[in-house]
Chain A
Amino acid sequence: MKDARAAFGMALAALMAVPAGNALASRQFTPEAPLAVASSADILVARGGGGGRASGGGRASGGRAAAGGNPGGGRQAGNRSGSRANNGFGNAGAGLNRGSTRPSGGWSNQVRPGASTDPSLDRANRPNRDAIGSGSFDRNRDLNGNRDVNRNRDVNRNVNRNVNRDVNRNWNRQVNINNVVVRPGWARPGWGVARPWNYGWYGVSTTPAWGWWGARAALWGVGTLATAAIINNAVDDAISDNYTTIVVPNSDYSLYYGSIQPSGQSVVSFVVKADGNDYQLSADCNAGTINGEEPKTAAQAELLNAACQVAFGST
């Protein structure tokens, strides 16, 4: 029995010695010491995978042009908790950490100076929700609750008839949303500044600069698209409510705003839910195209506008 106790004690001592050694090993650097820079940031691999149960497209919001989707959806990082026991303290970690894991979207090298970029621990003021878009044509349309109810009925009818009314023929890349990062690091409070790419140039003009806009808008009987404030507010609401999608104003589309990923100065890829399926699309915000084609409906123009605003608009 004594031998068994001694062996247990030795094993325990050996286990305790391991982290102590690691802790010592981590204390080598001083600011004055020379740095041997190994390589660029891309050594660290972004956490991929995971993410997002399908949203079912928008909550019954009584016509608010706001976030849709499901609360708590879009877990990511490959079900990291899958192999862990649920002990109730899973989220009781340190709160802050090293911050060295490369987020999807990468690292930014420039914070654009502006009113919202002064260092502060005070909560950022959000614009008055009621004041946003007041008097705007689009806002009034969004506030029509009856229209939203009808829209939901239309969606169901489309599913039953298996008619993809809202999907273009060239939207041919369906995705499993569980394999898409829908909660990137930048999709959080302060997302406007947190976007790790060049932003702020889209939507400067009140009317889109797309060459096709004038004639098409007249044909559709649409004066303007949803304002930046409406879309920004929808994203703010979605983040606040822990939703992974926003309802694209004046459409049946739900945009996974966190899936937005620029692939150039004006091109952005994103995932949209349409008629019950999730599609990976690419938009050129300068040319005004989705998957290389001009929008065929006002709703598609709204989708294009929403994706471009979240990606490149000012906040």
Chain B
Amino acid sequence: MTSVSIPTCRPGLLALLAASLLGAPLVAKSEVLYKLNTQCSLGAGNPQPCQVEAINEKGATLYRQTIGSTTETIRITDQPVRMERWDGQTKGWQSLTSAAARFSRNTVCFNGRDLCVVNPNYLNSVVQDRPEAMAGRDLVQVFFGKDGRINLSCYDDGCNTVAP
């Protein structure tokens, strides 16, 4: 009869293993959709080269814009649509006040023109997701209420009517 020896572990090692197993689900499982070398502007300033990294995770898509030494991260969730900007000082997500897309310029802007990004990938996805609604549109704007949900959407000339 062959004896089987059971490996022994030190208690510290076991604790580490258990901690890593328990900790694994806490890390958000994410997927990089794309990295895009493009142009951005901050505060309605001059265009600058930037890189957009789009990251998909459960329930949200993150857009990380790296502009020189500055990183701006926008998080967009669906159902309902919310858009938030990461505030590095408060270490928290702040709801946007508005977002706008100009298809003919392949541009999407957040909080007025605080952050503008040429991101055709984003717009291509938006258009293909809702072809009927987007057909013939060039400008789309959404505004967010205090609860972070969209309380106003407008298209093209309609945005002249609702501009704050």
Contact = CB atoms under 8 A, between A and B. Distances in A.
A33 B124 contact: no
Contacts of A141: none
A36 B55 CA distance: 11
Contacts of A110: 36-38
A93 B133 contact: yes
B31 A39 contact: yes
Contacts of B40: 119
A96 B33 contact: no
A100 B131 contact: no
Contact of B128 (A31, A40, A183): A183
A173 interface: no
Interface in A218-267: 239-242
B121 A95 contact: no
Given A123-B139, A242-B135, A44 B36 contact: no
Contacts of A240: 136
A182 B138 CA distance: 19
Nearest to B152: A95
Contacts of B47: 118-119
B80 A94 contact: yes
Interface stretch (B2-10, B11-19, B103-111): B103-111
A107 B34 contact: yes
B interface majority secondary structure: strand
Contacts of B56: 44, 100
Given A31-B73, A101-B129, A113-B39, A186 B113 contact: no
Given A98-B76, A119-B39, A119-B41, A29 B60 contact: yes
A34 B30 CA distance: 10
Interface of A: 19, 22, 25-41, 43-44, 47, 75-77, 81, 90-105, 107-111, 113, 116-124, 183-186, 188-190, 193-194, 196, 239-242
Given A25-B59, A97-B130, 20 more contacts: A26-B59, A26-B77, A28-B28, A41-B34, A47-B128, A95-B140, A95-B142, A98-B78, A110-B37, A111-B39, A118-B41, A121-B139, A124-B102, A124-B105, A185-B124, A186-B120, A189-B137, A190-B120, A196-B121, A240-B136
14 contacts: A28-B57, A35-B30, A37-B31, A96-B83, A98-B61, A99-B126, A101-B125, A111-B36, A111-B37, A117-B39, A123-B139, A183-B128, A183-B131, A242-B135
List the 9 shortest-distance A-B pairs measured between CB atoms, nearest first: A26-B59, A185-B124, A185-B128, A119-B116, A124-B104, A189-B104, A107-B34, A99-B122, A95-B153
